[in-house]
Structure 1
Amino acid sequence: MLYQPTADRAMPIRTFLKHQMRNVAPFVTLIALLAFFGVASPSFATMDNAYNILTQISVAGIMAVGLTFVILCAEIDLSFAAIANAAGIAVAYFTVQESYVNVANMPLSGAVAVCLALLTCVALGLINAFGLTVIGIPSFIMTLAMMQIAAGICALLVRGQILYAVPDVVKTLGSGSIGGIPWIVIVLAIFLLVGHLVLTYTRFGRYVYMVGGNREAAEYSGVNVKWVLAAVLVISAVCSGVAGMLGVAYFGSAQQNEFDGYLLDAIAAVVVGGTSLFGGRGGIGNTIIGLCILGVLNNGLDHVEIDSFLKILIRGLILLAALIINVYAQNLRATPIESPD
């Protein structure tokens, strides 16, 4: 008689953990990091530092929006950082005073340079999509090859040099501010909002979750799975391209391998936030939490006295913990809950 009420109380807890662990764990982690760094360093808990954190995560955040679509489909894109680099170099390349290809001895307008850079991203995304959906190359291998292709494009355009010229609109959005708020943070917020609205309220968003949750069932339901997979890869490439162009303005130059470090950051943001590596679960809300965790962690470690080389280890451990929670949550959902006798 005494055991039954305890079991009844344990059931909702088990059910809650089964369905919400992937969402709760990142949020608890973020709160713990904020509390720790707020106590450890008085300079951390300031409004100016909050703007610094938002600015620091903006480039990776725009990339992570597109990557969220890909991972929700149970695929992976390893080329987005290289595509971002290619877009940043391309927009600077097409803005220089004299064209390296010597087609016209005059500078291209900013709009033309931006359009050509975006077209470059779309073309690379379409090649990824073609390899995955038509040829049947796994996304891991296809995007790994594209990473090298994009890196080759970067090398061909810059030839070891550093480019500094970017269109005025890119310079404003990447390094300017309005009312004290950096434009790049506003662009990040717009991308996050649009991504959330698309995934939550559109038919395409439902298709993304269906393809990631059960691809075979999605096909039987009449969903064009190949079209959805192609679309998310192009979305990832375009988001990366925008991030690359704004990143060049933010850093003040375009050079080879400039965005290589963002490969881990964007993937970590999506995974640490709780979006399932197995597809079908998660979303932009999870990505926002993951971005905040990485931003607070990286910024907070700079405010405390700690070995700079230890920071890399700590980031790796945080990512490993997120992966363990991700896999455990997936296994927990797959395990039926037995009601007590």
Structure 2
Amino acid sequence: MASSETAFAEAHRARGLAPFLRSQMRNIAPFLTLIFLSAFFAVASPSFATLDNLGNILTQVSVTGIIAVGLTFVILCAEIDLSIASIANVTGIAVAYFTLQESYVNIANIPLPGAVAIILSILLCALLGLVNALGLTVIGIPSFIMTLAMMQIAAGISALLVRGQIAYKVPGLITTLGSGSIGGIPWIVIVAAIMLLGGHLVLTYTRFGRYVYMVGGNREAAEYSGLNVKFILGAVMVISAVCSGIGGMLGVAHFGSAQQNEFDTYLLDSIAAVVVGGTSLFGGRGGIGNTIVGLFVLGVLNNGLDHVNIDSFLKILIRGLILLAALIINVYAQRLREKAAE
């Protein structure tokens, strides 16, 4: 009798384990990918598994991480923002442009030369995000199309400001945060960590964060419950633009110059970080924790490929294949969720 009860209990646990693993596949797969990539590159290259290289990886993913914070909010609402890279670029160029124009205010005879450049640049990216928000919520343009148009608008503003030139001067605060360090830790890594932590706290512990998940999980139910869905959608578009702008300003200081098309690769990188980490493209599932895992997967992959001296063109193919695998897992996990709900 005891043996039959034990067998029944084991069978019950087995039946319970499989559905659990399937339901958590979106979260488990990125961790397994990260572990596999880390182990592979550690064996393939002795210089990979070092503390100095870990610092390199953190620095390399910092700008992507800052931009991905806002994009996580957008994707959790089952929307997309294709203008993040262009907004990052135009904000970085704008802060250099305003600095070159020697913009300043004088309060009680105290000049504040970098402050105005930073404020104007943040206002610019927030304005572009607001245009995205109005197009999505007031006019009713799908976010894919609206942000695609904004991508071109921001690129046009960048071209007008820079006019084919390269700008090098940015405010001192931006220079410090983008390329300076404290105690051997780059400031840009600290800023990225603070923004990721802030995004996590907002999504996890605030009413606004709960509303974001509600809108992404079931928009119709959110509307019936009296939630102002349009306000939430508009807010996440502005958050995405501001995060992109901050990433753009610090990125310009980190790279040492502001020029056109400097952030083009960050569109795919940021989307990949969010999706590879396991945040659902269909909304309502995932979060900043998933984005952090996705950032490490991309960081380890890009850095590791450099250490094994692989063909640069093959790197692009491998990154694309990993993103495709993440998308397949994302869609498959959504189908499992829908079947479980039936």
State TM-score, norm by structure 2. 0.94
**Alignment partner of 1:311 is 2:307:** no
8 Å contact from structure 1 (residues 81, 259) kept in 2: yes
| 1:119 aligned counterpart, secondary structure | helix
**Per the alignment, do residues 216 and 47 of structure 1 end up closer, same or farther by CA in structure 2, a change over 3 Å counting?**
same
For residue 227 of structure 1, what is the amino acid of its counterpart? F
- Residue 61 of structure 1 corresponds to 65
Q: In the TM superposition, what is the alpha-carbon distance from 1:336 to its structure 2 partner? A: 2.9
Aligned to 1:208: 212
* Equivalence for 1:179: 183
Which residue identity is paired with 1:291? L
Q: Does 1:254 align with 2:280?
A: no
Look up the match of 1:161.
Answer: 165
User: Do structure 1's residue 111 and structure 2's residue 122 form an aligned pair?
Assistant: no
Q: Where in structure 2 are there 5+ consecutive unaligned residues?
A: 104-110
1:326 match:
330
Provide, for residues 88-121 of structure 1, a one-character-per-residue CA deviation record: whole Å limited to 9, x for no partner: 000000001567xxxxxxx971000000000000
Could you say what secondary structure the match of 1:140 adopts? helix
Query: What RMSD in Å do the two structures reach over aligned CA positions?
Result: 1.7
Q: Deviations over 1:264-315 (max 9, x none)?
A: 0000000000000000000000000000000000000000032121111100
1:332 deviation in Å? 1.0
1:8 deviates by: 2.2
Q: Deviations over 1:246-277 (max 9, x none)?
A: 00000000000000000000000000000000
The aligned counterpart of 1:152 is: 156
Partner of 1:102: none
Alpha-carbon contact 1:94-1:108 (below 8 Å) kept: no
Q: Structure 1 length as normaliser, TM-score?
A: 0.94
SS in 2 for 1:335: helix
Q: Which runs of 5+ in 1 are unaligned?
A: 100-106
Stretches of 4+ aligned residues off by more than 4 angstroms: 1-7
Corresponding letter in the other structure for 2:299: G
CA deviation after TM superposition for structure 1 residue 10, in Å:
2.8
**Aligned partner (choices 197, 207, 211) of residue 201 of structure 2:** 197
Residue of structure 2 aligned with 1:222, choices 226, 238, 253? 226
Check if 1:90 corresponds to 2:94: yes
Q: How far apart, CA to CA, are the structure 2 residues paired with 1:183 and 1:40?
A: 31
Secondary structure in 2 aligned to 1:166? coil
C-alpha change, 1:337 and 1:227, in structure 2 (3 Å) is closer
The structure 2 residue matched to 1:78, chosen from 79, 82, 96, is 82
Between Structure 1 and Structure 2, how many residues are aligned? 331
Distance 1:325 1:13 in 2: 19
Q: Equivalent residue for 2:135?
A: 131
